[in-house]
Amino acid sequence: MVLRTLAIAAAFSGAVVAAAQAESWTYTDGSGQTVTLDAVPQRIIASQDAAAGLIPLGIRPVGIYADSPVAEAKALEGLDLAGIEIIGQAWGEVDIEKAAALEPDLIIAEWWNRNAVWSGGENVVATLSQIAPITGVSAGDSIVGMIEDYEVLAQSLGADLAAPAIAQNKTAFETAVADFKAAVASKPGLTALAVYAGDDALYVADPAGAAELLDMQSWGLDIVKPQGVDATGNNYFETVSWENADRYQADLILVDNRAESTMATALAQPTWTLMKAAEAGQVAEWPAFWLRNYKAYAGALTDLTAAINAADPDLTP
């Protein structure tokens, strides 16, 4: 009887160990590093972009750190943030006391290969890594690819990717892509120029530095590439003085929409209309660097499709 009891106890102990091992969690992140935890993390602090990728997939962080006031963060627009602690609202800043009080198992950020840095910058990483491991997807050369990477990460965290809302968002996105492609195909010769308008200068975007622009190129949109940017460096734009705003001409201008003030800044410049597209009103919003889920991407593409359909493709040679 004693031997049988010991055998049962040993079997139970083995089962517990096996279960614990089965519940361990391993993830190889965008920087190439592997993080292993004893159990699937439940309490997650996320950067604003990571939160934008994960929340629509059913993974809700306990805390978020943003690059700007949350009300102005395009990546978080339209997301339900109820019950989530905001531990930072400026690039490079987090409240370490708030972060520690959340007792996170994991910090999820994004790895930016071009700058070799995690979301929030070195100071944030140095701070948050004191309380939990940091991991996440790479900010790669395709938003679609990033969303797929978030799906893999979310599923490892327990997300049900077959949930109806997730499927609906994906279907809506696929429809938006098809419509975008059709609009581009109907306007042969149409060119686009992506810019950020600053008080000091016009910044012309290198498509190679923006994953959403690379997606749009792959779907047929001809985006003008500036000549003064090294695509392998840390710069994403060519700086053009407002006096030379017409250095690059295109049929459609896409203006960085991370801040509402950017479009207003552009329109206030006397030389803005040196660009034929600006003079003709063929201007649309560029969802610059912040798209991280199918719903947001579908909405942005729908707006861009409307602008393409309305544009004259023969405005410039």
Residue corresponding to tokens 């012309």: 204
* C-alpha to C-alpha distance for 65 and 51, rounded to whole angstroms: 9
CATH number of the domain within which 186 lies: 3.40.50.1980
State whether 110 and 194 are in the same domain: no
282 band by pLDDT with thresholds 50, 70 and 90: very high
Express each pLDDT in 262-272 by its tens digit: 999 999 999 99
Specify if 317 maps to a domain: no
Residue 20: the pLDDT is 41
State whether 35 and 143 are in the same domain: yes
- For 238, the domain range is 165-310
State whether 31 and 83 are in the same domain: yes
State whether 177 and 109 are in the same domain: no
Q: Which amino acid is at 12?
A: F
Residue 247 has pLDDT above 90, yes or no: yes
How confident is the prediction for the chain on average, in pLDDT? 92
Specify if 3 maps to a domain: no
State whether 133 and 170 are in the same domain: no
258 neighbors 288 (Cβ within 8 angstroms): yes
Specify if 55 maps to a domain: yes
Residue 2 has pLDDT above 70, yes or no: no
State whether 147 and 189 are in the same domain: no
- Which among 116-120, 187-191, 236-240 has the top mean pLDDT? 187-191
Q: CA torsion sign, 239 to 140 to 252 to 301?
A: negative
Exposure letters 218-251 (e unless 16+ CB within 10 A, then b): ebebbbbbbeebeeeeeebbbebebeebbbbbbb
* C-alpha to C-alpha distance for 106 and 29, rounded to whole angstroms: 13
